[in-house]
Chains A and B, each alone.
Chain A
Amino acid sequence: MILPQDLSIHTILPMVLLSATGLAVLILGTGWSRTAFMARWLALSGTLLACLATAALWGRPAESFAGALVLDRFALVLHLVFQISCGITVLFSFRSARALGRRSGEYYSLLLFCTVGMMVLTAGTNLLVIFLGLEVLSISLYILSGIHRERRESIEAALKYFILGAFSTCFILYGIAFLYGASGSLDLAEIGRILGRAAARETSGFMRAGLGLMIVGFAFKIAAVPFHSWAPDVYQGAPTAITGFMATATKAAAFGGLLRVLYLSFSAPAIRETWGPVFALLAVATMVVGNLVALAQDDVKRLLAYSSIAHAGYLLIAVATATEAGVRGILFYLVSYTFMTLGAFGVIGLIGQKEGKGESFSHNLAEYAGLGYRRPILAGAMTLFLLSLTGIPPTAGFMGKFYIFRAAVGSHHVGLAILGVIFSAISAYYYLNIIVYMYMKRAPREGMEPRISFAGAIGIGISLAGTLYLGLFPTGLWGLVGNLL
């Protein structure tokens, strides 16, 4: 009888909490209407408990399940990002998920399961575990984006996302097969050791194929150009709360998984030279397409979809630097990006709420005309989120961009940093355009006042606080995310 070694089960407590809450919500939500009402409170408290459990693991880097997972600070920072994002998404869903009726149980439970998938993806040190985490996260999102299945846009979003997502998963799986062929191991650190030893003399063809396929697969997941074609339609068709979750937590999870693979398995200097330029190319293409196409959008939700592609471009600059400073910049950027983007999508979701009809799919700019006078606080919050997305101090977006461009300059990628600054300036046009509509255009007609739910207001408040705090006092977080990998 062989028993596994030390399992350190306490390290997966946050995941167990979230999964158990997900199952409980599933059971509650399928019942009669009163329990469906309780489901969202349960989801919220489960997420809060998981946050506390994750924070309790802080400072004690631990492996669990014989090294299948590692709960280091890199993983814990990202886990907190996912949980905060999940919690705020639950708050934004308080009203919008009501239209789902009994399906709201499934909605909240899939959201929680998705978060668990993200946590496993970023904590996994084994290609098998990473793949499973990616699948749990992706499949939950396919379903969530199509949860309004009586609407054409929603079905289209789910189908597109599913087909292209499954396709990209094949690339990752194929890449894993090649990497296994090159190194004979699925463990990331072990692969890194074997490839690193060999890289001094030769680079392996299998390794190149595996690395290339994995990069393509992850580029799909983070919606980098030219693998971005699914993102605008999916972001548009999914419920707005879920779109915000996809744009923030999913992006953070995909970047986390990518960094984990790159810096554990492909960190030998000779190998870094092979993937650095690839990401530089992806970064430039992503910034160009994301920003330029966003200029032409007149639907706010679609505009933010393209803007989220553009932000993936800024993050890819930091990946292209292939340095530890780049990783630090990415983590800071992901945290600040999470707050401002969640907030912006939250405002869009609240404004898109129509009385009695659930959520509308049209978020035309014209609806924002005069919002600054009809809903001054909401418009003020939106203005701050948009300024932060542009990268104007004293907001989190400015500090995030500052750290990323500084990492690029520090590693002699001055050209990339200059391009990043130029495209940030271009992005100011479409972000400020929304602000112009809110404050300088006359409202089309009276009586379109969006009703703000209390939970939604709290969600916006948290995002706002995060955006401002990280902009004014960035050093706290900057200190936390140093030397993680």
Chain B
Amino acid sequence: MENLFGLAIAFVAIFSGLMVVLHRNPMVNLVSLIINLASAAIFFLLLGGQFIAAIQVIVYAGAIMVLFVFVIMLLNLRRELDPPKGGRIQKILYLPAALALAAGLVYAALGPRIALPAPPPPGPDFGSVERVGELLFTDHLFAFEFVSLLLVVAMVGAVVLAKRRLD
């Protein structure tokens, strides 16, 4: 039952992902992206990561998507966009190239797998806030601290590139 549900959500995720890139209306892209992110949250739930699922919904489906909606509304892009004008070679080649990559990945995924030792059964606190926090401040402490530098760089970049008045 749970497997079947997971499979259904996987299809929803793939379909909405395709709609994000293939549909011409930016609002449809956006809604598809929300669905896609929500299905990722459901995956986390199925794996027992309630806290991560909640964060996924709050941060992505909540905060980030609202920003996207605002930008699209402000830019007044409600009409359909023209299809991008690519070079002729790109137009002919993009589909075979994408299919070849997909085929290669599917082939690889179906190929032999390394027999990994069974992971220890998740403890009662698996996926809890405490456990996530503990990992964040022990094993991944450096990554956690270093992300702040990434955020500073991104912020400086946004200001440098988007500041209205040049001096």
Contacts and interface: CB of A to CB of B under 8 A. Distances in A.
Interface of A: 2, 4, 7, 19, 23, 26, 64-66, 68-69, 101-103, 106, 109-110, 113, 116-117, 120, 126, 128-129, 132-133, 135-136, 139-140, 142-143, 146-147, 149-150, 158, 178, 182-184, 194-195, 198, 202-209, 212
Contact of A139 (B107, B109, B153): B153
A149 B109 contact: no
A159 B116 CA distance: 43
Contacts of A207: 114
Nearest to B139: A66
A310 B142 CA distance: 36
A480 B6 CA distance: 54
Which DSSP category, helix, strand, loop or mixed, fits chain A's interface? helix
B157 A120 contact: no
Given A204-B112, A204-B114, A208-B108, A184 B146 contact: no
Contact of A205 (B113, B139, B159, B167): B113
B114 A195 contact: yes
> Which bracket fits the contact residues of B?
35 or more
Interface in B123-154: 134, 137-143, 146-147, 149-150, 152-154
A68 B143 CA distance: 8
Contact of A106 (B107, B110, B149, B159): B159
Contacts of B110: 205
Contacts of A203: 112
Interface string B85-104: 00000000000000000001
Most interface-central of A2, A19, A109, A143 (chain B CB within 10 A): A143
Given A113-B152, A194-B116, 17 more contacts: A4-B141, A7-B141, A26-B156, A66-B141, A68-B139, A68-B143, A102-B167, A103-B167, A113-B153, A140-B153, A143-B157, A184-B116, A203-B112, A205-B112, A206-B111, A207-B114, A209-B109
Contacts of A103: 160, 167
Contact of B161 (A2, A158, A202): A158
A182 B114 contact: yes
Given A68-B142, A132-B143, A150-B166, A110 B109 contact: no
Contacts of A4: 137-138, 141
B84 interface: no
26 contacts: A4-B137, A19-B149, A66-B138, A68-B139, A68-B140, A103-B167, A106-B159, A106-B160, A110-B156, A113-B149, A116-B149, A128-B140, A129-B143, A135-B150, A136-B153, A139-B153, A139-B157, A178-B108, A182-B113, A204-B113, A205-B108, A205-B110, A205-B111, A206-B108, A208-B111, A212-B104
